[in-house]
Amino acid sequence: MRVVLADDAVLLREGIHRILTDDGITVSAAVGDVDALLDHVAAAAPDLAVIDIRMPPTFTDEGLRAARTVRERHPGTAVLLLSQHVQVGGALDLFTTDASGLGYLLKDRIIEIDDFLAAIRRVAAGGSVIDPIVIRALVERRSPTDTLGLLSDREREVLSLMAQGLSNPAIATRLFVGLRTIETHVASVFTKLGLLPTPDEHRRVRAVITYLNHSG
């Protein structure tokens, strides 16, 4: 797997570089600005681009716009967005068009190296990853009068974990309940939201995100 890193913070970039290399992942380039990133993606067509949302020159959403360009012009390159803090607005649009091969993580997550590497692999393989904090923000944003208000507290908790890409057994383990219970909750969530359950993990995330975004 070949990955391109785009972050203007040199220390962080080197840190990620080291983690990936140690794990046997090829870092095809590590760049500090958007232009270099787009040039490299166009030239080398890496499997994944890890992009910091805030980059020079304005440090607002250069990375996000670059991610949009990458997904439009190079569908073969997956994108994992990194952000220093919860900044969802623009990123959500990306997920609603097509969530496959797309991820969004806070930079703090990188510290849990195993989780981070798992997320890298899942996104590179065409899956989706969204940071739990972002999911929580999105779920909590719903007003009780929304359709989502039909869900029980437990079902909302399950939905939140589903959105993070956790499998049913993983949710069961996390919530200390039986797998059957979780499957019931998931079925109930999909029924209440009018969504067809599929085994495909990233579709689950995408369905949830799409729903959240559209009902917001």
> Is residue 131 part of the contact set for other proteins (CB under 8 A)?
no
- Measure the CA–CA gap between 132 and 149, rounded to whole angstroms: 20
Q: For other proteins, which residue of 107, 185, 202, 206 counts as binding (CB under 8 A)?
A: 107
Q: Which is nearer to other proteins, 86 or 195 (CB)?
A: 86
Say how far apart CA 3 and CA 23 lie, in whole Å: 12
Minimal distance, residue 133 CB to other proteins, in Å: 9
What is the smallest separation between the CB atom of 131 and other proteins, expressed in angstroms? 13
The residue (of 88 and 182) whose beta carbon lies closer to other proteins is 88
Of 25-33, 42-50, 109-117, 188-196: span binding other proteins (CB under 8 A): 109-117
111: contact with other proteins by CB under 8 A: yes
Among 43, 137, 179, 187, binds other proteins (CB under 8 A): 137
Q: Smaller CB distance to other proteins: residue 143 or 176? A: 143
Residues 1-20 that bind other proteins (CB under 8 A): 8-9, 11-12, 14-16, 18-19
Instruction: State which amino acid sits at residue 113.
Output: I
Which residues within the stretch 35-94 sit at the binding site for other proteins (CB under 8 A)? Answer: 54, 58-61, 84-90
User: Interface with other proteins includes 150 (CB under 8 A)?
Assistant: no
Shortest spacing between CB 173 and other proteins, in angstroms:
22
Q: Burial of 183 by CB count in 10 Å (0-12 exposed, 13-18 middle, 19+ buried)?
A: middle
HEC letters along 54-110: CCCCCCCCHHHHHHHHHHHHCCCCEEEEEECCCCCHHHHHHHHHCCCCEEEEEHHHH
Q: Are strands 2-6 and 128-130 parallel, antiparallel or unpaired?
A: unpaired
Q: Which of 1, 33, 69, 113 binds other proteins (CB under 8 A)?
A: 113
Contacts to other proteins by CB under 8 A: 8-9, 11-12, 14-16, 18-19, 22, 54, 58-61, 84-90, 107-108, 110-113, 137-138, 140-141, 143
